[in-house]
Structure 1
Amino acid sequence: MPGVVEIVDTETAIPDPTAEIKAEAHAARDRTRDAVRAEGEAVREAWIEDRVGKLVPDNADDDTRDAARATVRRAVENSTLSGNFTVQVIEGNEPRAVTVVEVLDDPSRYDGMLTLDPLEPDYDGGRVVGKLYTAGARPNLFSFAHGGRTFRLMRQPARIEIVKGRTYDIVQGTLETLRRAPEAFDFGGALVTVDRGRVHPLDDAGLIHFLGGVVQYWRWNSARRAEPSGTLEDPPPRVAKQILSLGAGRHLKTLSAVVTVPTLRPDGTVFDTPGYDEATGLLFEATEDVVPVPAAPDRAEVVEALETLLHPFREFPVVAPDDWGVLLAALLTAVVRPALLTAPGFGFDAPVQGSGKTLLANCVGVLASGQAPAVWPHTAGKDDEEVRKRLFAALRQGCRALVWDNVVGTFNSAAMSAALTSSNFTDRILGKSESISVPNKAILLMTGNNLTLAGDMARRVLTCRIDPGTDHPFAREFDLDPLVHTRKHRQEMAAAGLTIVRGWMTADAERAPGRMASFEKWDDIVRQAVAWVGREIRPGEFGDPMNAVFTAQSGDPEQETLDKDPAGVLLQFTLTKGEFLCQARGVVAVMTASRTSFGFLFMEVPFG
């Protein structure tokens, strides 16, 4: 190439800045930032004063103006619209000003109504950019303006005076406010709030933070003033501690579960109205349009519902009709679990890894909760206490689905067995000496290769086996992603599940023989519906879920030992205890140690 190319050492030509240059650059940056911040704050304060002028009359006193100013400031700084803050709703294609109090007083009227942006009604020429969601526990307005923003709707914070020596009255006044708060509940012994379908247990700090948004504490301050004046105060920590210590004595709204799709009430009726149902303790937080469920479906509607519910699972290599029956039972249980005191668990079993067990369990979990279920690895070789701690941690947060993944070997767990047959689960709070009881509305799912259940687990977990028939199942290709489909069509699938259950309940058909102990209500609603589908809707395609119990117990290695040699257990007792008199308690302990069929004779023996 012609010419000379000069090579420049940029490190030498452009030396690093000295400490003085760096300091000056930082100072210039800070000056610019402060100037911009000051300008922004001035614009914001001017806007706040302008909005205050629109909220109160010109002759309003200082206290009224201060209250209005606090309302507007909460909207700007905390995305909270409260009290007499006005929102422009669209009625008859025209905007109409309503206050937040009016909206909260008539949530069914305003739910789903479109609005202008609450802070900038003239945004983009007055374009409709907002929508009200008032049916749930946390009413809000979402605006698409400026990238999207969610505004919480709440009443004007209650004012409670702090008076020395009157802590009892302060606590009682705070409790009255909590009882009116739409998102505060007693969840067993825990005080919780609900936000976007999730349960959030509150500790001391969490309750203080929450109270700061619903109560304005204040006290009279006469120091160095000619006249006493009110001084705002933060929530007193002692008040939060006392409220948390009251437990059930708080008498807040009782929460049993949060659902985001329609479900069944214990009486068999469909719960599809967003909001809180006092009779059942269920809270329906609707995030999508609700799909209607026929009260008395005919055969054609049940057939269509069956296809809708099972569509994403048709490519799974489910082995036999009994396994299809268990899968259908798992899907129906996911939909109606809030109506049931107890429900069996469901295991997904395969001969090789990569068969799709965890995917199948996750789909059932998403149908139940709308979220990815909590997945816990199997605690092989660990004490059963770890199982108990995990279960309590999940249930305390209102977990609706729990996946116990990759179970290895023979599995038995006293803690898990107890959880499956308990409507409430009690344990000690980590780091504290106190215990609380929380509702159990979760569906328990587990996966494993050649899953073998022992003891009580064999009766309390129904197993669905899938077999891809290849040594390389992970290399298979499918036209449909079942997890994506379940998330996208969850409303339709939940409605389909309820249609099947309502079809059985209104069909006046014969019941399948027998009834599963410990799961009687589940048997009435789910097992009988599956057995009915297998008899009358799709004959031969779905087995009775009860068959899975017989299969599991026949494969229980502990039961097999005694079935072959019941006298051997008695001999073991003789060799262990020797020839001396003992209480019947000792005999029962030995005979039930392995939970065998022979030992089951002693399971209900009363003794003192």
Structure 2
Amino acid sequence: MEAEEELAPGVTARFGAVVVERAAPELIACCLDARAGFVWFDRRSRMCLATPCPRAVARRLAVVPVDFGFRPVRGVAQVPILEPDGSLFFSGYHARTRTFVATDPLELPERPTRADAGAALEAILAPFAGYGLEDPERRACTACAVLTAASRPSVPTTPVILVDATTIGAGKSKYARAIATIASGSGFVILAEGHSPDEMEKRLYAVLMRVPAAFILDNLQRSLASSTLESLITEGTTNIRIFGTLDTVDVEACSTVIVTANNSILRTDMLRRVLPVRLVVLNEQPERRRFDFDPVDVAHKRRREILAAAFTVLR
């Protein structure tokens, strides 16, 4: 059973998901207390006595962190960053994308041949072998979805990956989780729609404030219409109000966004902001089908190979 943690109502993170927490003054004070000693001069005893971090110091660090040499972080990437010259950045802080990268080096061919590209394509598609990839459109869209997940932190914006099925039991959730596994490794965030559009926006806020490597809006029932998502996809940033306050923050995100639905309906503004993957099942009882492999398991076990193949194609 997959271990999960509830980040907020309707928002769960799989075990291993790397998320970013906003540096609240209280958190900053705790970190400073653990790493530094603060004292105050007691006039009565004429001695310097230990004291917790002054809240004024923590608040100032929270408001203007750049003034103290702290670097802005757009997110944590668990795939390499592709540089304009074709090289890959694997570990540490990447200044151009303002991303902290935490991944292992990949072995790629120095001068890929056509045969290398063909083998790479087959590796990219391996987790999705049971999804009717003999259909050229579905095959192309699946390859694009994997390449989008692999390259997401390297570029300012990418479309939402919409996994749209003709009926229940088509395997769209497994498909989406396989894509999210490629993007994030062992952990990603799953978001339930909620009972109203306002509730969905609140849940999106909770997810975007944590900037996971990938998140899935699972089993969408209503029309896909979200100003927050549209802004994020188009501009790479969105404005979010902090819960319980009147304060707002601009949030940049490098998350791979995946939506699953059955016969989805999109708002007009969203139509050009999605990469649609259509799963067509002709079986009258698709939920009774049995497969000898698990797409998520294949994606997890062969992730390094898939990423190497993806960057072979992207370079």
Fold shared by both chains (TM-score > 0.5) = yes
Find the residue that maps to 2:235 and give its secondary structure: coil
2:78 to 260, 263, 271: 260
| Partner amino acid, structure 2, of 1:471 | E
Question: What is residue 358 of structure 1 aligned with on the other side?
Answer: 173
Return the alpha-carbon distance in structure 1 between the equivalents of residues 94 and 267 of structure 2: 39
Return the alpha-carbon distance in structure 1 between the equivalents of residues 80 and 312 of structure 2: 11
Question: What is residue 219 of structure 2 aligned with on the other side?
Answer: 406
Q: 1:329 to 1:268 in 2, by over 3 A?
A: farther
Find the residue that maps to 1:353 and give its secondary structure: coil
1:238 to 29, 39, 56: 56
1:216 to 37, 44, 50: 37
Return the alpha-carbon distance in structure 2 between the equivalents of residues 220 and 196 of structure 1: 44
Write out aligned runs for 1:313-392 (5 A): 313-318=128-133, 320-379=135-194, 382-383=196-197, 385-392=198-205
Return the alpha-carbon distance in structure 2 between the equivalents of residues 317 and 452 of structure 1: 23
Contact 1:352–1:471 (8 Å) recurs in 2 = no
Return the alpha-carbon distance in structure 2 between the equivalents of residues 345 and 280 of structure 1: 20
Return the alpha-carbon distance in structure 2 between the equivalents of residues 442 and 295 of structure 1: 29
Return the alpha-carbon distance in structure 2 between the equivalents of residues 355 and 280 of structure 1: 37
Matched residue count? 300
Contact 1:406–1:446 (8 Å) recurs in 2 = yes
Write out aligned runs for 1:11-50 (5 A): none
Question: What is residue 22 of structure 2 aligned with on the other side?
Answer: 201
Task: Quote the offset at 1:333 in angstroms.
Answer: 0.7
Return the alpha-carbon distance in structure 1 between the equivalents of residues 270 and 243 of structure 2: 27
Question: What is residue 257 of structure 2 aligned with on the other side?
Answer: 444
Contact 2:76–2:102 (8 Å) recurs in 1 = yes
Contact 1:261–1:272 (8 Å) recurs in 2 = no
Contact 2:121–2:143 (8 Å) recurs in 1 = no
| Partner amino acid, structure 1, of 2:218 | D
Return the alpha-carbon distance in structure 1 between the equivalents of residues 275 and 134 of structure 2: 14
1:482 matched to 2:295: yes
1:422 to 209, 232, 235: 235
1:459 matched to 2:272: yes
Task: Quote the offset at 1:250 in angstroms.
Answer: 4.7
Question: What is residue 282 of structure 1 aligned with on the other side?
Answer: 99
Return the alpha-carbon distance in structure 2 between the equivalents of residues 401 and 303 of structure 1: 27
Contact 2:17–2:184 (8 Å) recurs in 1 = no
Write out aligned runs for 1:559-574 (5 A): none
Contact 1:379–1:387 (8 Å) recurs in 2 = yes
Contact 1:428–1:436 (8 Å) recurs in 2 = yes
Find the residue that maps to 1:291 and give its secondary structure: coil
Contact 1:323–1:463 (8 Å) recurs in 2 = no
**If you compute each CA radius of gyration, which structure gives the higher value, 1 or 2?**
1
| Partner amino acid, structure 1, of 2:73 | L
Tell me the C-alpha RMSD between the 2 structures.
2.4
Q: Spell out, residue by residue over 1:487-507, the C-alpha distance to the aligned partner (whole angstroms, 9 max, x if none).
A: 2222221121111111xxxxx
Contact 2:78–2:213 (8 Å) recurs in 1 = no
Q: Tell me, which stretches of 5 or more residues in structure 1 are unaligned?
A: 1-194, 503-608
Q: 1:497 to 1:414 in 2, by over 3 A?
A: same
Q: 1:392 to 1:294 in 2, by over 3 A?
A: farther
Question: What is residue 529 of structure 1 aligned with on the other side?
Answer: none
Q: 1:231 to 1:247 in 2, by over 3 A?
A: closer
Higher share in helix: 1
Q: Tell me, which stretches of 5 or more residues in structure 2 are unaligned?
A: 1-15
Task: Quote the offset at 1:406 in angstroms.
Answer: 1.6
Contact 1:290–1:491 (8 Å) recurs in 2 = no
Find the residue that maps to 1:437 and give its secondary structure: strand
TM-score of the superposed pair, with normalisation by structure 2 = 0.86
Write out aligned runs for 1:50-199 (5 A): 197-199=18-20
By relative contact order (CA 8 Å, sep 6+), the higher-ranking structure is 2
1:468 matched to 2:289: no
Return the alpha-carbon distance in structure 2 between the equivalents of residues 357 and 434 of structure 1: 37
Task: Quote the offset at 1:221 in angstroms.
Answer: 4.5
Task: Quote the offset at 1:240 in angstroms.
Answer: 1.0
2:86 to 269, 274, 285: 269
TM-score of the superposed pair, with normalisation by structure 1 = 0.46
Higher share in strand: 2
1:311 to 93, 101, 126: 126
Return the alpha-carbon distance in structure 2 between the equivalents of residues 393 and 407 of structure 1: 18
Q: Spell out, residue by residue over 1:101-145, the C-alpha distance to the aligned partner (whole angstroms, 9 max, x if none).
A: xxxxxxxxxxxxxxxxxxxxxxxxxxxxxxxxxxxxxxxxxxxxx
